[in-house]
Structure 1
Amino acid sequence: MKHGLPVAYPGMKIGLFGGSFDPAHEGHAHVAETALKRLGLDRVWWLVSPQNPLKPKSSPIEQRLASAHELAHGRQMVVTDLESRLGCAFTYQTLRRLKRLYPGVRFTLVMGADNLANFRKWRNWREVARAVPIAIVSRPGAGPGLRMSAPKGWSYLNARHNFQSSTALRTARRRPVAKPGRK
């Protein structure tokens, strides 16, 4: 990464996989790997967000970057804090900047189907929907929604489910551990 930004060249196909990754887990890796393989992407960039505006305060970004690095295996997965570096708080801002910084690169927004439920709450979601193709990877608990009627430029990737979730992992971390032999 030159100056903290990932390298990409015109003609490359890059999946943009944004999130809090608080913490990153196998479900995230599954979504990224499914998109990489099924869409024939050259890379998937894990965009570790400074702070998801739709979620409570995240853990420190350094901790979330480290968590994502542990799971993003291989040279085709790139973990980056480019949204922080570019001063972008919202996906539409990120897409605008990336299209200017990387002319000729074909970006696809990648998300788990569980995130689709909140898509209309995203700032300027219509602009996001028009800006780049969007690939939705099936996730547990998220119905098939788009499978039969995906908007133009969108694709629904039905895949095996990985049941891990960041919310469940954070909850388990906060739960007190019972000490054997104490009453």
Structure 2
Amino acid sequence: MPHVERGMAVGIFGGSFNPPHAGHALVAEISLRRLRLDQLWWLVTPGNPLKDATQLAPLSQRLEQSEAITPDPRVKVTAFEAAHRIRYTADTLELAVRRNPGVDFVWIMGADSLAGFHRWQRWRDIMAIMPIAVIDRPGATLSFLSSVTAKAFNRARIDEDEASLLARTPAPAWTFIHGPRSSLSSTAIRNAG
């Protein structure tokens, strides 16, 4: 786990990053700026229970590729889930909070993940562990409010203009951040290769 200090605002941006690409780097950049984060943990997961693991590149390769496209020193590429044998996001977030008292965390995810977020293991617990920033992705801008999660946690949504306060806001809290979008997709990159 990357080193942090009490009082820091830290975003956790998890994914398989199979492969990582400029669209992921754009999400990291937007998150650092709009959420006013001190650090962003680029969390490369060993696997995703909702995705086909047979097409997954080795973890070491995805870590190396992620480090190559994240020059900002505030971005800390990590795979601590593998060392702790963690499989589900809720367990990851609980560990991060438990190990780092006094740090204000935000879970960061692309808007394309919001549509199926209610299928994630313990998704309601994730909403209760830390605030969530949902970053705009092509094709998800207009449909995000109709998702099961957005409807279930409508009252916990904060205005995008207050995104810089999200890390300091008690969970459940979430916001949707509009901005530049990348049409790049790891699936499309794998299929083209």
TM-score (norm 2): 0.84
> What's the counterpart of residue 29 of structure 1?
25
> What's the counterpart of residue 139 of structure 1?
137
Equivalent of 1:15, from 4, 7, 11?
11
Classify the secondary structure of the residue corresponding to 1:72: coil
> What amino acid does structure 2 have at the position aligned with 1:85?
A
Alpha-carbon shift at residue 72 of structure 1 (Å): 1.4
Mean Cα displacement is larger for which, 69-78 or 104-113? 69-78
In 2, are the aligned partners of 1:17 and 1:44 still within 8 Å (CA)?
Answer: yes
CA RMSD after TM alignment: 1.5
Classify the secondary structure of the residue corresponding to 1:54: coil
> What's the counterpart of residue 75 of structure 1?
73
Are 1:48 and 2:68 matched, yes or no? no
Higher helix proportion (structure 1 or 2): 2
Classify the secondary structure of the residue corresponding to 1:46: strand
Which blocks of at least 5 consecutive residues in structure 1 are unaligned?
A: 174-183
Which blocks of at least 5 consecutive residues in structure 2 are unaligned?
A: 157-172
In 2, are the aligned partners of 1:16 and 1:107 still within 8 Å (CA)?
Answer: yes
Matches within 5 A, 1:29-178: 29-57=25-53, 58-144=56-142, 145-146=144-145, 150-152=154-156, 153-173=173-193
> What's the counterpart of residue 164 of structure 2?
none
Distance 1:26 1:8 in 2: 26
Task: Give the share of equivalent positions with the same residue, in percent.
Answer: 42
In 2, are the aligned partners of 1:35 and 1:110 still within 8 Å (CA)?
Answer: yes
Distance 2:28 2:116 in 1: 19
Alpha-carbon shift at residue 146 of structure 1 (Å): 3.9
Mean Cα displacement is larger for which, 15-24 or 55-64? 55-64
Distance 1:83 1:13 in 2: 20
Alpha-carbon shift at residue 15 of structure 1 (Å): 0.3
Deviations 1:29-83 (A, max 9, x none): 1111101100100011011001011111121101111111111121110100111
Distance 2:189 2:138 in 1: 15
Q: How many residues align?
A: 169
Q: Which has the larger radius of gyration?
A: 1
TM-score (norm 1): 0.88
Distance 2:132 2:177 in 1: 11
